[in-house]
Every structure is written in structure tokens, then in C-alpha cells.
């Protein structure tokens, strides 16, 4: 039997996903060792392999077949736009992709003004403003702490993830427009979906049961 390989987005998503996998009998003891420097973990009995990767790299591993299955946020799936199948909404890691800024900037959005938009997600931002809103904007790519941008006048608004809204609130910002809901998703390599159809479908079915409980 061939190994099935899972790529998990490092951090909270991976932790919650592994807890979910344990409920359907998929576990990896090796992975629970906090001090390990190993990069890949194996469950010999079930012929499974697991590795942790930077979230934005997970869709790449899956598209190229280096991983059969990926666990990653919808934000990353949209931003990376890789050829893969999104097969399941895992129902955790729920948040929203939003346009945020100072309340005064709402008018600039309503008027379709030429504004600057800072984001870690330039593709999502471009898609929203150009294809959905038909508003011409300048998009500035940032790599983190995006809420700083409107505060120091780098941009009028930002496109970012909002979970509790605390970061925005504490910085005098708010949600101006909602783009889409986000959560953790399971993605599958297009060839693996055909070649390992039976094993993968069983995993999806078992996970669906856990999700609906």
C-alpha cells in the first residue's frame, strides 16, 4: 500500500486538525513530541505520513503531489490559487476576510475613489476590488501587522482577516466591508483523488461525521 501524505499548515490549524483526525482513528504519536526537530512523521501501521509547512506553501505541496492531502485556511487557498480539489470545510478556524479602516474611509469605498489598499493577500484584494467592486485601487503587499498601514497613512484601507475584531478595535479601526467567510479546509491533489479514491473518500466521510456531531 502506498503512503498517503498530509501537509498541515503549521500552528493552530495543524493542532486542531490532528485532534480531529484522532477522532477518526488517524493518529501520529511521533508528532506529539514537542522537542523533536524532525520534519516528517510516519504512521507505519496506517501507511500515513505527515509534515508541517508554512501555510502558504501547503497548496504548492498538494498541487505538485508532494502531499496527497492538505489542511489549510480558505484565505491561503484563495490567495495561492493552485490546481487542487477543495473537498471539505472542516468547520474550525472560522473568521472573515474584510476590508477594514477608519470609519471616515467608508466614503472613499462608496465613491469608488482611487485609494491604496494594504494586504498580506494582494490577490484576494485585487480580485475583490477589480472584479467584484470594479474599483481601481493601488494594492500594497505587506507581510504582517497590516493594521499598522491605515494608522501610519500607508494606505486608506486594508484587506485582512478578522476573527474577534479586537486588533481592529484596539487600533481605532473597524470592518467596512465583508469579502468572504473563512475556515480550515481539506484539499486534495487532483491525481491522488483518482488513484487513492477509496482511502481519501473514507477519510472525507469519517470527517464529515465528526463535523456534524
167 near ligand PRP (CB under 6 A): yes
164 binds ligand PRP (CB under 6 A): yes
- For ligand PRP, the nearest residue by Cβ is 144
Of residues 19, 80, 70, the one with CA closest to residue 49: 70
Query: Which run of H or of E encompasses 42?
Result: strand 40-43
Q: How many CA atoms lie within 13 A of 195 on its CB side?
A: 12
Write the CB contacts of 8 (distance below 8 Å, at least 6 apart in sequence): 14, 17, 18, 50, 51, 52, 53, 58, 70, 71
Nearer to ligand PRP, 100 or 109 (CB): 100
**Region from 61-69, 74-82, 85-93, 161-169 binding ligand PRP, contact rule CB under 6 A:** 161-169
C-alpha cell at 26: 488517524
| Options 19, 22, 81, 163; binder of ligand PRP; rule CB under 6 A | 163
Q: Please give the residues from 14 up to 53 whose contact with ligand PRP meets the rule CB under 6 A.
A: none
Task: Produce one character per residue of 112-146: b if its CB has 16 or more CB atoms within 10 Å, e if not.
Answer: eeebbbbbbbbebbebbbeeeeebebebbebeeeb
Q: In angstroms, give the least distance from the CB of 120 to ligand PRP.
A: 6
According to CB under 6 A, which one of 36, 113, 145, 190 is a site residue for ligand PRP? 145
Is residue 144 a contact point for ligand PRP (CB under 6 A)?
yes
Our finding on whether 75 is near ligand PRP (CB under 6 A) is no
Q: Is there binding between residue 152 and ligand PRP (CB under 6 A)? A: no
For cell 472573515, what's the residue? 96
Tell whether residue 165 is a contact of ligand PRP (CB under 6 A): yes
Q: Which is nearer to ligand PRP, 22 or 103 (CB)?
A: 103
Residue 195: count other Cβ atoms within 10 Å of its Cβ. 13
Question: Which residues lie near ligand PRP (CB under 6 A)?
Answer: 120, 144-147, 160-167
Amino acid at each position: 500500500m502506498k503512503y498517503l501524505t498530509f501537509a498541515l499548515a503549521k500552528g493552530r490549524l495543524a493542532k486542531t486538525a490532528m485532534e480531529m483526525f484522532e477522532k477518526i482513528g488517524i493518529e501520529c504519536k511521533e508528532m506529539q513530541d514537542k522537542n523533536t526537530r524532525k520534519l516528517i512523521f510516519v504512521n507505519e501501521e496506517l501507511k500515513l505520513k505527515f509534515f508541517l509547512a508554512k501555510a502558504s506553501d501547503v497548496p504548492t505541496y498538494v498541487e505538485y503531489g508532494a502531499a496527497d492531502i492538505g489542511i489549510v485556511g480558505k484565505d491561503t487557498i484563495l490567495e495561492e490559487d493552485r490546481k487542487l480539489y477543495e473537498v471539505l470545510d472542516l468547520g474550525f478556524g472560522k473568521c472573515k476576510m474584510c476590508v477594514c479602516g477608519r470609519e471616515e474611509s467608508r466614503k472613499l469605498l462608496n465613491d469608488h475613489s482611487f485609494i491604496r489598499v494594504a494586504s498580506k493577500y494582494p490577490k484576494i484584494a485585487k480580485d475583490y476590488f477589480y472584479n467584484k467592486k470594479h474599483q481601481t485601487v493601488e494594492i500594497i503587499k505587506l507581510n504582517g501587522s497590516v493594521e499598522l498601514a491605515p494608522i501610519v497613512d500607508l494606505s486608506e484601507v486594508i484587506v485582512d482577516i478578522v476573527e474577534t475584531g479586537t486588533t481592529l478595535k484596539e487600533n481605532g479601526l473597524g470592518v467596512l466591508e465583508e469579502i468572504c467567510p473563512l475556515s480550515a479546509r481539506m484539499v486534495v491533489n487532483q491525481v491522488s483523488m483518482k488513484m487513492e479514491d477509496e482511502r481519501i473518500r473514507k477519510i472525507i466521510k469519517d470527517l464529515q461525521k465528526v463535523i456534524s456531531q
